[in-house]
Homo-oligomer: A and B are copies of this chain.
Amino acid sequence: MGNSFGKLFRIATWGESHGPGIGVTIDGCPPGVPIDRAEIQKDLDRRRPGQSSITTQRREGDEVEILSGVEEGRATGTPIALLVRNVDARPEAYDPLKDVYRPSHADYTYQAKYGIRTWKGGGRASARETIGRVAAGAIARRILRDACGLEVVAWVESVQDIRAAVDAARVQLVDVEKSIVRCPDESVAARMIARIEEVRKGGDSVGGVVALVARNVPPGLGEPVFDRLEADLAKAMLSLPATKGFEIGSGFGGTLLTGSEHNDAFVLQDGRVRTRTNRSGGVQGGISNGEDILLRVAFKPTATIARPQETVTTAGEATVLKARGRHDPCVLPRAVPMVEAMAALVLVDHWLRHRAQCGGAPAAAP
């Protein structure tokens, strides 16, 4: 039941890392939206393995095929099905893993839950599953951009303790894409890359934080009380593999302030109600207030490492695992388009929900 997301712009993903392919179906896309295969492929290329020296060297073209829902380049309003065939599946590389639970992977929990698992690669728990999310997210972003100029930009804010200073109000996709680590702060990016290469050589891995800004968000997105915008964003982000934390606006740091320090004073600016500060992160009472949405997502270090690890076999015997294979020493550069996609999927869903209940595109209050 857990393989779909969204209420009105509803995506459902399927597929395993070493099966025939991976896909997604989108139900609820507004008719007439331009669906451009190249635009979708562009985001997939930012996600795919093998794109740089600091990502996994698995080679997957990840070419997307549009199977339905499009007529002469436009959405028809019926389900859009997208398929990416798996190409570089070397299941035999996983033979040694058939009977061993890899630490901090999903091997044990899938076996415990289902009594059966696809032990070749990560199976359903593989990050390849996010192909469908990124593809659907590309369409979501297009809708939001065309509707109200809304844009989402994410970047790598930190790798371990190496932390960038980025101006969220101004950072652009092109700034992010300048470095292979997807950190727009150039000197910090160089240090991040050096760190990643260092831990890779040591057979180890690192994690970090991805930050995201959404700009030109109309006021009114989000629904009381369970489907608050930040609640849906939190769920979206924590549904990505390897995530351990989420913050919106002031986040955990905000707990150190007093109310008088933390509150965002309302001011009038160009006839619009604005806030002088933005500790709220663009959301108040679960609903967007028109300010930039600011959020951060914690990614743990990649679970697959080359060093020997203590574990147990499926038969219940202690053993030592020494993984081989081609893996990311740091998932963050490839996580950036995933975080953007999930944010866009949440925003477009609430944009449609607003249109349903309130009868028109969201607009600023008088």
With the chains together, A311 CA to B265 CA distance in Å? 6
Select the stretch in A41-49, A55-63, A276-284 that faces chain B. Answer: A276-284
**Interface membership of A50, Cβ < 8 A:** no
With the chains together, A246 CA to B252 CA distance in Å? 8
- Which of B158, B219, B235 is A234 in contact with, Cβ under 8 Å? B235
With the chains together, A305 CA to B359 CA distance in Å? 35
Interface mask (A1-22 → B, CB under 8 Å = 1, otherwise 0): 1111101101011111001111
29 A-B contacts, Cβ less than 8 Å apart? A7-B7, A21-B67, A22-B68, A23-B68, A25-B25, A77-B116, A101-B266, A101-B273, A103-B263, A103-B265, A104-B284, A108-B219, A108-B365, A109-B285, A109-B289, A112-B219, A112-B287, A199-B259, A227-B239, A231-B239, A232-B235, A235-B238, A244-B281, A245-B248, A262-B300, A263-B303, A267-B318, A268-B316, A271-B316
Tell me whether A207 and B262 are in contact (CB under 8 A): yes
**Interface membership of A204, Cβ < 8 A:** yes
Tell me whether B103 and A239 are in contact (CB under 8 A): no
Select the stretch in A123-131, A164-172, A173-181, A184-192 that faces chain B. Answer: A123-131
With A209-B252, A364-B112 already in contact, the answer to whether A259 and B204 are too (CB < 8 A) is yes
A161 cross-chain contacts in B, Cβ below 8 A? 256
With the chains together, A225 CA to B115 CA distance in Å? 18
With the chains together, A279 CA to B318 CA distance in Å? 20
Tell me whether A68 and B364 are in contact (CB under 8 A): no
With the chains together, A365 CA to B1 CA distance in Å? 22
The oligomer's copy count stands at 4
- Which of B124, B129, B310, B359 is A265 in contact with, Cβ under 8 Å? B310
With the chains together, A226 CA to B11 CA distance in Å? 10
With the chains together, A197 CA to B63 CA distance in Å? 48
A280 cross-chain contacts in B, Cβ below 8 A? 104
A359 cross-chain contacts in B, Cβ below 8 A? 30, 355, 361
A220 cross-chain contacts in B, Cβ below 8 A? 109, 112-113
A109's closest neighbor in chain B, by CB?
B287
With the chains together, A366 CA to B29 CA distance in Å? 23
For the complex of A and B, list the 3 residue pairs with the smallest distance between their C-beta atoms, beginning with the closest: A106-B285, A2-B227, A2-B223
A79 cross-chain contacts in B, Cβ below 8 A? 3, 12-15
Tell me whether B68 and A106 are in contact (CB under 8 A): no
**CB within 8 Å of B: which A318-364 residues:** 318, 352-362, 364
A14 cross-chain contacts in B, Cβ below 8 A? 25, 27, 67-69, 78-81
A16 cross-chain contacts in B, Cβ below 8 A? 68-69, 78
With the chains together, A323 CA to B114 CA distance in Å? 50
Tell me whether A245 and B246 are in contact (CB under 8 A): yes
Interface mask (A269-302 → B, CB under 8 Å = 1, otherwise 0): 0010101100111011111111000000011111
**Interface membership of A237, Cβ < 8 A:** yes
A27 to chain B, nearest CB (A): 5
A300 cross-chain contacts in B, Cβ below 8 A? 250, 254-255, 257, 262, 279
A209's closest neighbor in chain B, by CB?
B255
With the chains together, A132 CA to B264 CA distance in Å? 29
With the chains together, A129 CA to B81 CA distance in Å? 13
A107 cross-chain contacts in B, Cβ below 8 A? 285
**Interface membership of A312, Cβ < 8 A:** yes
